[in-house]
Amino acid sequence: MNQNTLNGRIAFVTGGSRGIGAAIVRRLASEGAEVIFTYASSEAAADALVAEVTTKGGRARALKVDSADAAALTAAIDAAAAGAGRLDILVNSAGVLERGSVETLGIDAFDRTFAVNVRAVYAGVQAAQRHMGEGASIINVGSIVADRTAFPGGAVYSASKGAVQAMTRGFARDLGARGITVNNVQPGPTETDMNPSDYHDMLKSLMALGRLGKPDEIGALVAWLAGPDARFISGASLTIDGGYLA
Ligand code: NDP
């Protein structure tokens, strides 16, 4: 265990089986939160993460929930909150990346991307806020592509993360009066399955720090935002990109 800044907090994390989401689950749990997380298909990875957290003395539970199914996501959040009595932290980390130029990428890819990266964030926040009170935190995982699309083939994904940035501001306004903060963490290139190694050398050349981010580094920022020292931050998009945008 790390510190105990999140002791007794109930957290729901979408897309927690791999990559950045898994690092967020680990970090929240290590700081004392009870974590319920979703995955789409990686059951073995999800089970292994639950076992890892449990072995270290933390609490985590995995649910197979397709974020593209808003009703299923809503039901899962309602059930988690009913079981725990409330919800303190929601992290929307599930995301998909479909690359392709507007010359070729079909409308079905647009719909799939927006279903998971945008619609599910709206559905998740709508469901979670019903179970939240003063001091609760909502953290979306957007991307620096909301601010800069550096390569061809990124229009749809960038648009989805731009929507997350804009919704974050709107949610912060909607929920601020109830003492609920809403923020958007925008990672730069980070070492996960979404970011295959054949791109790494090219990406490194664009980063001030000359390396990609590690999922744990994103997890640390998310946990801090969920903690007591970040209560005056809301509606913000925080860049964590090793100087990619510098
Ligand atoms: P990965 O592809 O490594 O992992 C994606 C995670 O999301 C998995 O746990 C996956 O579950 C889950 N997921 C995907 N689709 C669904 C769905 N329909 N329903 C439920 N869960 C789903 O991605 P990253 O860890 O890299 O990305 C996490 C977030 O960070 C995303 O929102 C991404 O856009 C964002 N991001 C990533 C960056 C990067 O460089 N890697 C940079 C900036 C932002 P399963 O294992 O079952 O497939």
Question: Can you tell me the mean pLDDT for 95-100?
Answer: 97
In the residue annotation, 157 being an active-site residue is answered as: yes
Q: Which residues contact 177 (CB under 8 A, 6 or more apart)?
A: none
Of 70, 121, 131, 133, nearest in space to 91 by CA: 121
Residues with CB under 6 A from ligand 1: 14-21, 38-42, 45, 66-68, 93-96, 116, 141, 143, 187, 189-190, 192-195
Residue-range domain boundaries for the chain: 10-240
User: Percent of the chain, pLDDT > 90?
Assistant: 96
State the catalytic residue, choosing from 39, 122, 157, 199.
Answer: 157
Pairwise CA distance, residues 162 & 86, whole Å: 30
For 118-168, the pLDDT digits (tens) are 999 999 999 999 999 999 999 999 999 999 999 999 999 999 999 999 999
| pLDDT for the residue 83 | 92
* pLDDT tens digits, one per residue of 210-222: 999 999 999 999 9
Average pLDDT, stretch 8-13?
98
Distance CA 117, CA 137 (A): 19
How confident is the model over 35-57, as pLDDT tens digits? 999 999 999 999 999 999 999 99
**CA 37 to ligand 1 centroid distance, Å:** 13
Angle between helices 19-30 and 215-226 (to 10 degrees): 50
pLDDT > 70 fraction of the chain, expressed in percent and rounded: 99
| pLDDT attached to residue 2 | 54
Q: Which among 9, 37, 32, 5 is positioned nearest to 141, based on CA atoms?
A: 37
Rounded Cα distance between 196 and 191, Å, is 8
Average pLDDT, the chain: 97
> Residue 1: is its pLDDT beyond 50?
no
pLDDT exceeds cutoff 50 at 103: yes
Mean per-residue pLDDT for 104-122? Answer: 98
Encoding tokens for residue 25?
A: 């689950």
Report the distance separating Cα 238 and Cα 225, nearest Å: 10
The runs of H, that is alpha helices, within 31-153 are 43-55, 70-84, 107-114, 120-129
Specify the pTM.
0.98
What band does 192 get if pLDDT is binned at 50, 70 and 90? Answer: very high
Residue 17: CB atoms within 10 Å: 25
- Alpha carbon dihedral 135, 87, 230, 138, in 10-degree steps, equals -120
What CATH homologous superfamily does 10-240 map to?
Answer: NAD(P)-binding Rossmann-like Domain (3.40.50.720)
CA of residue 222 to ligand 1 center, whole Å: 15
List, for residues 55-75, the tens digit of each pLDDT value.
Answer: 999 999 999 999 999 999 999
Tell which residue, 99, 96, 211, has the closest CA to residue 151.
99
